[in-house]
Structure 1
Amino acid sequence: MWLEPAAPTEELLSQRRRPPMSEFHGIFSPVCTPFSPGDQSIDEDRLRRLIDFQLDNGVHGIIPCGGTGEFPTLSFDERKRVTEVCVDQVNGRVPVMAHTGACSTREVIELSKHAESIGCGSLMIVPPYYEVPTDDQLVAHYAAVSDAIPLPIMVYSIPAHSKINLTPELLHRLAEIPNVTMLKDSTSDLTQFQRIVSELSDKLTIFNGSDVGALAGLIHGAEGCVWGVANATPKACVNLYELVIERKDFAGALNLWQDLYALNYFFETEGYAATAKAATRMAGVDIGVPRDPFTPLTSEQESRLEKLMEALGALAEPVGATAD
């Protein structure tokens, strides 16, 4: 796990890469999937409200059906429908990057073709999980998707869940695939991350994906963050990005990070989906609770979470549906 970074030196900051030039930069929010009370069906109205909350607070992109969106609990058709709702509600305001990762190459291709057909401009794809492929099999997997769909692909390194670490050596191979143009690094390994930036930043647009490593990632070369905490605190997450990348106000970034880090640590240690939904409700957008078998936070956890949200000035009166 990344620790809170020390104050960056001017020498380090002077080496910060070029300003982002493409649409793939900034804070991309992997949006939660709201479920209806009772039958736990997809609650499209709540999803639309959540998307507007994100965009009203400045996020630079939306990612449906990621881990924060509880994609392993969704059916194939539900994943397609959630992506459709996101594309419709965003309506071209920011990029929509569909997460289409699955255990079989055929399913990834089907989900990716669907995403392209409804207007998604890019894909995020986690490696096949549970049965771990070899490096050669993984390269072939991404190459097959690239051959089938002409969209930019963000490969997603999250070894804690996929059991696959996209090392610099493996990323050099993946970067040779024509449409593999981006990386989300959720390894929480700052040493490896710095090596990836040093060796591959001319081939891949690199996003930080470790919540507790957001500030360190931005300082050390990430073009942005795929950040689940942005569901609840989009303005604070965007502010951190702007302080580091656009305003070069590193003292301000470190000051904001003290409270953001504590909230991020809670997300990563207390149950991610339950925390994301509770925190987003506290921010004023009620999106329900996690889908079974996962359960809401306890009252004791909610009390601690509320204090962290209050420290960020992120609490609001609830709007929308009543808490489940």
Structure 2
Amino acid sequence: MDIRGSIVALVTPMHADGSVDWERLKKLVNWHVEQGSHALVAVGTTGESPTIGFEEHDLVIREIVAAAAGRIPVIAGTGANSTDEAIRLTRYAQRAGADACLLVTPYYNKPTQEGLYQHYLAIAREVDIPQILYNVPGRTACDLLPETVERLCKVPNIVGIKEATGNLDRARELMERCSADFMLYSGDDATAIEFILMGGHGNVSVTANVMPATMAAACDAALAGDAERARALNAQMAPLHQGLFVESNPIPVKWALHEMGLIDRGIRLPLTTLSGPAQERLRQMLRDCGLLEVK
């Protein structure tokens, strides 16, 4: 598997009542293909994976795979805090036609490093689809340490990691410990371009939901070693790297896409729509980035 560049952590568009908006989902996929995004993540954190049920999970992945139609790869989010559930979700994703799976560390139950190793090893042995580890301790209360990643990168179908700490020293250590063909993805928009310039392979991005062409171009430049262009493009997006996290993701990005006319306002409890004070702040950032007309 050789997926590089801007990988959109795709929202799951919903109607006001919280039901999935299948028509808007297809339109979003087509838009990202047209804008030059390099790959999509289906039903990740930004896709509201915690409130997407098993059957729906399978359907969303199938619809995204069908809409992408082989034009760009689709990576399915299939992590869980139960190893059996993660295996089940990963099998579903393989049957649905996903190109790879993204598996967040088990949240809440706080396994040891040996537990994490055994968890990922069990999934890899049960399902032969390419698998990408996902470390985001700020959400999971669980940190997949570099020495454990080094052990896991030797498993044939564990092909990469999304490292979302934003810690570039951690990224450097992963690069030193893992083989050159092990794919290293940033999961932190604010530091992603520097991550790629250091030797990373791509960015699993929230910002790319609203500025896909710019993020794709910035990642392309960084992969080509053109630091000046990559940083200049990144500067155009910098306000959104912060603004899209004024409240818990994906609250701000779904609100932003609604303001841009790309999706309805639906979001599922316990998440709620963006609060009033944050709306005006983010609206101004969208205007500054040329995504909304100045009124």
TM-score scaled by length of structure 2: 0.94
Q: Does 1:267 align with 2:252?
A: no
Give me the whole-angstrom Cα distance separating, in 2, the residues matched to 1:260 and 1:243.
15
Runs (4+) of structure 1 moved beyond 6 Å?
Answer: none
Q: Distance in 1 between matches of 2:160 and 2:249?
A: 24
Partner of 1:151: 129
2:234 — aligned with what?
A: 257
Kindly report the root-mean-square deviation, in angstroms, between the aligned alpha carbons of the 2 structures: 1.8
1:53 to 31, 36, 40: 31
1:36 counterpart = 2:36: no
Q: Describe the SS at the equivalent of 2:244.
A: helix
Secondary structure at 1:155's aligned position in 2?
A: strand
CA distance in 2, matches of 1:290, 1:37: 7
- The alpha-carbon deviation at position 201 of structure 1 amounts to 4.3
Give the CA deviation at 1:291. Answer: 1.0
SS at match of 2:128: coil
Residues paired across the two proteins, number: 294
2:274 counterpart of 1:297: yes
1:177 is displaced (CA, Å) by: 1.9
From 72, 91, 109, the equivalent of 2:87 is 109
Q: Is the 2:29–2:67 Cα contact (8 Å) retained in structure 1?
A: yes
CA offset at residue 104 of structure 1?
1.1
2:196 alignment partner in structure 1: 218
TM-score by length of 1: 0.86
- Quote the Cα distance in structure 2 between the aligned partners of 1:287 and 1:30: 18
Q: Does 1:204 find its partner at 2:182?
A: yes
Q: Indicate whether 1:229 and 2:207 are aligned.
A: yes
Listed as ranges, the matches of 1:51-130 within 5 Å are 51-130=29-108
**Shift in Å, 1:208:** 0.7
Q: 1:182–1:204: 8 Å Cα contact kept in structure 2?
A: yes
Gaps of 5+ in 1: 1-21, 318-324
**Offset of 1:176 from its aligned partner?**
2.1
Corresponding residue number in structure 2 for 1:309: 286
The answer as to whether partners of 2:14 and 2:263 remain within 8 angstroms in 1 is no
Secondary structure of the residue aligned to 2:102 is strand
CA distance in structure 2 between the aligned counterparts of 1:213 and 1:306, rounded to whole angstroms? 23
How many Å separate the matches in 1 of 2:226 and 2:151? 36
1:233–1:283 contact (8 Å) kept in structure 2: no
- CA shift for structure 1 position 212: 1.3
3-state SS, counterpart of residue 207 of structure 1: strand
Query: Are the equivalent residues in 2 in contact too, given 1:32–1:277 (CA < 8 A)?
Result: yes
Superposition deviation, residue 193 in structure 1: 1.1
1:264 partner letter: H
Aligned-partner Cα distance in 1 for 2:148–2:62? 33
Q: Which residue of 2 aligns with 1:280?
A: 257
> Structure 1 residues 277-286 or 172-181, which shifts more?
277-286
Q: 1:113 to 1:26 in 2, by over 3 A?
A: same
The answer for the alignment partner of 1:23 in structure 2 is 2
Equivalent pair of 1:102/1:128 in contact (CA under 8 Å): yes
Shift of 1:302: 2.2
1:18 corresponding residue in structure 2: none
Change (3 A) 1:29 1:316: farther
Distance across 1 between alignment mates of 2:232 and 2:226? 10
Report if aligned partners of 1:259, 1:308 keep a CA contact under 8 Å in 2.
Answer: no
1:194 aligned residue: 172
Structure 1 residues 172 and 249, CA gap change in structure 2 (3 angstroms): closer
Deviation track 1:276-310 (CA, whole Å, cap 9, x = no partner) reads 11222333412423211211123432222122222
Structure 1 residue 160 displacement after superposition: 0.7
CA-CA distance at 1:242 after TM superposition: 2.1
CA-CA distance at 1:203 after TM superposition: 4.9
Unaligned 5+ segments in structure 2 are none
Contact 1:283 1:316 in 2 (8 A): no
For 2:204 and 2:87, locate their aligned partners in 1 and report how far apart those are by CA, in whole Å: 22
